[in-house]
Amino acid sequence: MKKLNVKNNEAAIYGVGGLGEIGKNTYGIQFQDEIILIDAGIKFPEDDLLGVDYVIPDYQYLVENKDKIKALVITHGHEDHIGGVPYLMKVLNVPIYAGPLAMALIKNKLEEHGLLNSVELHEISDKSVLKFRKMKVSFFRTTHSIPDTVGIAVHTPVGVIVETGDYKFDLTPVTNQPPDLQEMARLGAEGVLCLMSDSTNAEKPIWTKSEKWVGTSIAHIFDNIEDRIIFATFASNISRIKTACDNAMAHGRKIAVFGRSMDAAIVNGRELGYLDIPDDAFVDAHELQSLPANKTLILCTGSQGEPMAALSRIANGTHRQISIQPGDTVIFSSNPIPGNTTSVNSVINKLEEAGANVIHGRVNNIHTSGHGGQEEQKLMLRLMKPKFFMPIHGEYRMLKIHTELAEQCGVPLDHSFIMQNGDVLALSKDSARMAGHFTAGDVYIDGSGIGDVGNVVLRDRQLLSEEGIVVVVATINLTNQEIQSGPDILSRGFVYMRESGELLDEGRRRVFKTIRKSMLAKKATESSIRNAIIDDLQEFLYNKTERHPMILPMLIMNGKE
């Protein structure tokens, strides 16, 4: 078991995920034999992680210390904060504490994984207090792009450690859940030992626009559209869904919902009272045909260009129930996440080609970030007045800028700590120091497989996607040193076989000679013959084509070796 270099009178804080990256937010606060976990998120894969669905943290340190973990507390219900919950619960069964919306979303995830009846769940509010033997946890309300967002204060014997979660200071939120500035100021007045704060927008010298401001822009757009509206946004952005639905009802439009996650968001939002939409405001897909174009709103997923989302299928003409009609207006009420820009642009192009008018981008004022800019980050620092500072939730450059903002707000630069996942910060009442490191790498989820896709598999996928594969099939009798059939060569993604007969015939003759030569060697084995085929054919094909396809020999062995 990995033992931290932390003294008995020190608290330890660390990121299992979420440091130096956007996503995988999973943080630990530890005092002696008690650990409070904050969030359990996933990260969406970069383009080079071919075939990978999600990335989660390596939970090994937590598994080794599972008896110390008293609770998993959740700041809010976005995937980069709760997406890893079912995977974490498979290796650690610890009590979960979350607000109403986050809890509803977590229950859905646990049910999908067959874990709902085996996990201890507790719904909390911003007024809740959790008491453990040595530590206490309290909450304060923040604003983000999803309701029921809280910051977390962990009261340890050496001082209070605050983790903000994702936040902005939206003073006119459409959910009527304004940030609790008084509670933040009270925590700061009583003394915050260390602040762990969201760094996502640390590069932007702004005060992020209110959701109410976006609502005004969307209302103006609805006023000027006479035909059908297709509105795409994140299913988790309940505030934006509310704005779209409120405007639809104000203009006498019926609402049709497409996308499983959007359906679930509407159900949860209505049950929890965030969406005040009567049953008769909704219509099914088959009812759309009988309604005038100016009396319909199609609410759907796919604002990030996801291939299987409703909007992408509409754009491609493969959706079973909806096709683009002349005069349709499609509103993208989100900005592309880094890495998704190409996919989003592709969907926009297809929609435009099909005859739709597409409204997107910052110029139309139809989206605002859920994360505070520099001015809000400075306000949080001023309210909390921390002795020490640890920026979280951001890539390195964002964390670095955030420490510079902290210095401007009275936190000495040597009291700020830019950390990596697995780094440990030890805090006493008056000091902070780096106290070691544990392994906290990435674990890839591909389909139902967890952790069975490693760097070798990813390298093979990269090679296949770029250079293709050449399969060599032969039947050989190693005892008699005979080639009984073949070799045959098959190409997939390397060269078009019908037009490359001469190349493949020459390759076949070369492989034939290589196999015969290899069988005649002393101590010849199937493995040695395979390796000889790979080495010789790779050299030959590179000399002819300047490409490096994957070579896969398939040898059928007759006789005894």
For the chain, the farthest-separated pair of C-alpha atoms sits apart, in whole angstroms, at 88
Contacts of 269 (CB under 8 A, 6+ apart): 101, 238, 241, 242, 275
Query: In a 3-state reduction of DSSP, which class is residue 182?
Result: helix
Cβ pair 226, 197 in contact under 8 A? no
Closest CA relative to residue 163, chosen from 33, 36, 8, 32: 36
- Is 371 part of the annotated catalytic residue set? yes
- Sign of CA pseudo-dihedral 505, 511, 513, 515: negative
Cβ pair 37, 20 in contact under 8 A? no
Exposure string for 321-337, b = 16+ CB within 10 A, e = fewer:
ebebeeebbbbbbbbbb
Binding-site residue ranges for substrate: 235-237, 367-371
CA gap 162, 187 in Å, rounded: 9
Query: In a 3-state reduction of DSSP, which class is residue 541?
Result: helix
Binding-site residue ranges: 51, 53, 76, 78, 80-81, 144, 166, 235-237, 367-371, 393, 446
CA gap 423, 448 in Å, rounded: 30
Q: What helix, strand, coil percent values describe the chain, rounded to 5?
A: 35, 25, 40
- Is 220 part of the annotated catalytic residue set? no
Backbone φ and ψ of 266, nearest 5°: -65, -45
Structure tokens that stand for 254 in this block = 């019926």
Q: DSSP code of 522?
A: T
Q: DSSP code of 231?
A: E
3-state secondary structure 26-65: EEEEEECCEEEEECCCCECCCCCCCCCCEEEECCHHHHHC
Cβ pair 366, 221 in contact under 8 A? yes
CA gap 356, 273 in Å, rounded: 34
Catalytic residue among 58, 155, 170, 371: 371
Phi/psi region, residue 473 (left: phi>0; alpha: psi -120 to 50; beta: rest), is: beta
Binding-site residue ranges for Zn(2+): 76, 78, 80-81, 144, 166, 393
CA 530 to chain centre: 40
Cβ pair 541, 510 in contact under 8 A? no
The H or E element spanning position 198 is strand 194-198
Contacts of 543 (CB under 8 A, 6+ apart): none
Dump strand ranges (E) for 285-422: 296-300, 329-332, 357-359, 388-392
Catalytic residue among 58, 148, 180, 198: 198
CA gap 81, 146 in Å, rounded: 12
Owner of token pair 């650990």:
35
Binding-site residue ranges for Ca(2+): 51, 53, 446
Structure tokens that stand for 112 in this block = 């999908």
Q: Any idea which residues carry the catalytic annotation?
A: 198, 371
